[in-house]
A and B are shown apart, each in its own frame.
Chain A
């Protein structure tokens, strides 16, 4: 078993289509989708992001990072939220991704989440990170 993050991304057309839909309808479709993954025992975490217009982008390029207001300017896609599922294969994570109630212009990127076992146990920074995760978890 591995954890996979289903990363939801969408372009402006997808956002416009989403906003044109009745809110109740969107909430119900997402709710049903989340419930189906909870009932299947695979959903372990997930969060949706607030409007990108509220966000800020810190961009690295020149000597100092450049801070601009969101949305991302040049970028054609916005990162809107994620689900973390725990499945034995990436194919099963993909199968869950395919069932998301999303329309044209949306994408879900499926990525395996690194576990502590992916890193050398004797690295000082890996040990520190594990401690931070532990402290944050309490």
Chain B
């Protein structure tokens, strides 16, 4: 990767990565600017992709331009004007835009208005995570337009063919157009629900990368860390929203455990068994800062901030035994009240069992099982097996773990459960 002043790069693969690096940094602002310029998100996204393709063809020969964001934006705007001209929509308005483009000669000028660009990027986030879109569509669109990932990168992250991702993006744009989704931040009455939708999309991207579903660990961790980055971006875009910081904190704390969550043979290591010296202290410190920013807004902890606070307790504890379990029980109780779910109840049961003993935990698990809410999932028999084993009721524990192994969703979970069964 030699790079003489302007940046001519000899190795084509390195040249491609250099273009992609610029793209990751600039994509959201470029698409946001073009949406404002054309008034059409789908068109803007197409134009941005065309400009990226042009850069991939040109920059390896010419070097990366001095102001790559401006180059990409200008190229896309020219494409827009050419398109309008071809479709004979070249009216006075477009003629004015074309003239403005020709007269803009300062190569160092920002290609967007610095006072409004953050608002435009935020609008882009809300469009990408709009409730008219399916989860898959929102995830693909958010990674592409906000995260600046290329379609092949997204496809590799989700183990699907490139054509599948392309199709999701095309459909997503068609859906947004059909629903006449405006390029705006949501009105006050819709804002909390729409922000929750954005947080959920980022959370889903993280869990997709976090879950040990299938091989290629490096790639998966990168997807999760991309979600961490996007959560930081969002927290800066809406710094007055406690849950944006709450989500960022939760993801920082969880990502901090990545270096400890896989054994050398590739198998998953449970929280209780992780070598805590391998946790990433820098990310833990960032998580604590993010949670403190959420708390500093003095509007109370939402579901993400509460989960972050639980993760913080684990992050600060030197061992499972030295963990402040009574505090974690309180946090789970609060979480269970504002965001009740059987999974939260099971987690509370585990915390209660650590604070008060396995019998108390088992009562909560049995109450969850009685509702039938998680029937068909391995999590209830797995939790029961755990607590029964600690109570010395080995035969009952064995039956539960055997049931859990049958219900496990993937090999990694099965391996963990089989290990527990063997350890009885």
Residues of A within 8 A of B (CB): 1, 3, 38-42, 44-45, 84, 86-92, 94-96, 115-117, 121, 127, 130-131, 133-134, 136-138
Contact = CB atoms under 8 A, between A and B. Distances in A.
Interface residues of B, number: 38
B232 interface: yes
Given A1-B222, A88-B225, 18 more contacts: A1-B221, A40-B25, A41-B228, A41-B229, A88-B226, A89-B20, A89-B21, A91-B1, A91-B14, A91-B17, A94-B1, A94-B21, A116-B278, A121-B275, A130-B275, A130-B278, A133-B277, A137-B282
Contact of B225 (A1, A92, A94, A134): A1
A89 B14 CA distance: 10
The majority secondary structure among interface residues of chain B is helix
A88 B281 contact: no
A92 B20 CA distance: 8
Interface string B271-284: 00001111111111
Contacts of A134: 276-277, 279, 281
A121 B21 contact: no
Contacts of A95: 18, 21-22, 25
A40 B233 contact: yes
Nearest to A84: B282
Contacts of B226: 1, 88
A133 B275 CA distance: 13
A99 to B, nearest CB: 8
7 smallest A-B Cβ distances: which pairs? A137-B281, A41-B232, A130-B277, A41-B229, A92-B21, A91-B21, A1-B225
A31 B22 CA distance: 21
Interface string B299-311: 0000000000000
A83 B222 CA distance: 21
Given A42-B229, A45-B282, A138-B316, A127 B277 contact: yes
A44 B232 CA distance: 11
5 contacts: A40-B233, A41-B228, A95-B22, A115-B259, A116-B259
Interface string B41-75: 00000000000000000000000000000000000
A42 B229 CA distance: 7
B405 to A, nearest CB: 28
B232 A89 contact: no
Contacts of B316: 138
B334 interface: no
Contacts of B228: 41
A105 B204 CA distance: 46
